[in-house]
Amino acid sequence: MSKPIKDLMTKEYQQRYGQSASACVVSVIGLDAISTNKLRGELRAKNLRLQVVKNSLARRAFGNTALAPLGDALDGPCALVTGSGSAIDIAKVLVDMKKTYPKIELRVGMLDGDPRLIDIEQLSKMKGRMELLGEVAGILRGPGARLAGCLAGPAGRIAGCVKAIVEKGGESKAEEPAAASA
């Protein structure tokens, strides 16, 4: 391959993956063309993209980006899977796809610019953004609910006492005019 073509491919990788901070590396070498095409279609339906990359050019393109540590994982025939979600969401989809396409080799993923590479199987077991936000909301809601309960208990007792006084006071006032007329 000539140097100008390599430079063009490197620029294409930089444009495509330059803003990405998460990606997963897989190998689809065992799949035939029909299965690969079906896999790409299923991934595309989930807003994910699978692209086979030339390792040396991808390493060069990732040099000054958040994906630089991922360059070390590019060994042998590799494909990058990227998407709009986090690497955890991508990993969960890939693990599900592995059931349908057992010849896919799941390698590693990179989570939001973290230089550590994590096995895709382990990455898929982590909690995603929505799950973590739900847990945080639950944790924040707990003390607030207890505080509201503490405030509502005595306040309810006071309200009950005031209601009882009002009801008693209303009866005694009604009896007083009747006693005065007699």
| pTM strictly above 0.75 | no
Q: Summarize the confidence of residues 116-129 as an average pLDDT.
A: 90
What distance in Å separates the CA atoms of residue 50 and residue 39, rounded to the nearest whole number? 9
pLDDT in tens, 71-106: 888 998 899 999 888 889 999 999 999 999 999 999
Every domain of the chain and the residues it spans? 3-126, 128-182
What distance in Å separates the CA atoms of residue 182 and residue 9, rounded to the nearest whole number? 108
Range 3-126: architecture per CATH: 2-Layer Sandwich (3.30)
Per-residue pLDDT band for 182 (boundaries 50, 70, 90) equals very low
The answer to whether the beta carbons of residues 57 and 11 sit under 8 Å apart is no
Question: 50: burial class by Cβ within 10 Å (0-12, 13-18, 19+)?
Answer: buried
What distance in Å separates the CA atoms of residue 90 and residue 83, rounded to the nearest whole number? 7
Question: Tokens representing 60?
Answer: 């060069």
Per-residue pLDDT band for 113 (boundaries 50, 70, 90) equals confident
pLDDT in tens, 138-174: 888 877 777 777 777 777 788 778 888 888 876 555 5
DSSP character string of the chain = --HHHHHHHHHHHHHHHTT---EEEEE-TTS-HHHHHHHHHHHHHTTEEEEEE-HHHHHHHHTTSTTGGGGGG--SSEEEEEESS-HHHHHHHHHHHHHH-TT-EEEEEE-TT-SSEEEHHHHHTS--HHHHHHHHHHHHHHHHHHHHHHHHHHHHHHHHHHHHHHHHHHHHHHHHHHHHH-
